[in-house]
Amino acid sequence: MAYLVLVRHGESTWNKVNAWTGLTDISLDEEGRDVAKKDGELLKDISFDIAFTSALRRAQQSLEEIKGVVGEISTTEAAALNERDYGDLTGKNKLEVEEMYGEDQYLKWRRGWDEPVPNGETLKDVYGRAVPYYQENILPELKTGKNVLVVAHGNSLRALIKFLENIPDEEIPNLEIETGGIYIYQIDPEGKIISKEIKKD
C-alpha cells in the first residue's frame, strides 16, 4: 500500500484578484505561502519518497514550503502537470467575463469538460497530457509502495481525480479544489484506490 497525495498550490497573486492565470508564471502571495506551510503541517506524518510538480513557479513554491515542514523530497518537474491554458481569457477578471458572456457560458468555460476557450485548452485537453504522465511516471512509483506527493493546479488535479475516481464527464463540473486543498489516497499494489481523505487547513 502507498499514499498518493494531491495538493493544489496556495493562493497566487492572480488568484487574489480573481483573474484567470493559466500558463502565466505567477508567484504565490504571502497568504499562499502560509497555506502551503499549513499543508506541510497536515502532511508531516506521511513519509514521502518522491514528489512531482509542474513547470510553474506557484506550484513549485508551494512544494518548497511543504518540504520546509516535512523534509527534503526527491522532486521531478513536469509541464504535463501545468495548469490549463486559458487562451484569450488569460489575465481577465472572472466576474467581468461572467458579466460579459453570461453565467451559462462562463460556467462552461470555467468548469466544463470539453468546452473550448478561444486559443486555449479544454479540461479534456489537460486530461490528455496529465493522465498519461501519471500512468507512465507516477503510477509505477505507487505500485512499488512509494509514497508520492503531487503539487499542481486546479485543472491538472481535477483531470487526475477524474481518472482516479472514474468521474463521468457530466459530473466533473461539480469538482472544485480550493487553493491549498489536499486529497489523500491510499493505493494498492494494482494502482486502485483503497481509501480517500480530503484535508483542509
Q: What is the pLDDT of residues 102-140, one digit of tens each?
A: 999 999 999 999 998 999 999 999 999 999 999 999 999
Amino acid (1-letter code) at residue 99: E
Q: Does 83 qualify as catalytic in the annotation?
A: yes
Is the torsion defined by CA of 24, 28, 31, 37 positive or negative? positive
* Residue 10 counted as an annotated binding residue: yes
Average per-residue pLDDT for the chain: 95
* Residue 57 counted as an annotated binding residue: no
Query: Residues with Cβ < 8 Å from 21, sequence gap 6 or more?
Result: 12, 14, 15, 58, 83, 86, 90, 91
Please tell me which residue in 83, 121, 141, 153 is annotated as part of the active site: 83
* Residue 22 counted as an annotated binding residue: yes
pLDDT attached to residue 16: 80
Q: Does 9 qualify as catalytic in the annotation?
A: yes
Q: pLDDT above 90 covers what percent of the chain?
A: 93
Q: Alpha carbon of 169 to those of 43, 115, 175: distances in Å?
A: 31, 11, 11
Q: Is 77 helix (H, G, I), strand (E, B) or coil?
A: strand
CA distance 135 to 122: 20
| Domains of the chain and any CATH numbers | 10-45+61-146+156-199 (3.40.50.1240)
Q: How many CB atoms lie within 10 A of CB 190?
A: 7
36 in Cβ contact with 180 (< 8 Å): yes
pLDDT by residue (tens digit) across 133-183?
999 999 999 999 999 999 999 999 999 999 999 999 999 999 999 999 999
The stretch 20-41 carries a mean pLDDT of 95
* Residue 76 counted as an annotated binding residue: no
* Residue 14 counted as an annotated binding residue: yes
Q: What is the pTM of this model?
A: 0.96
Please tell me which residue in 9, 65, 141, 153 is annotated as part of the active site: 9
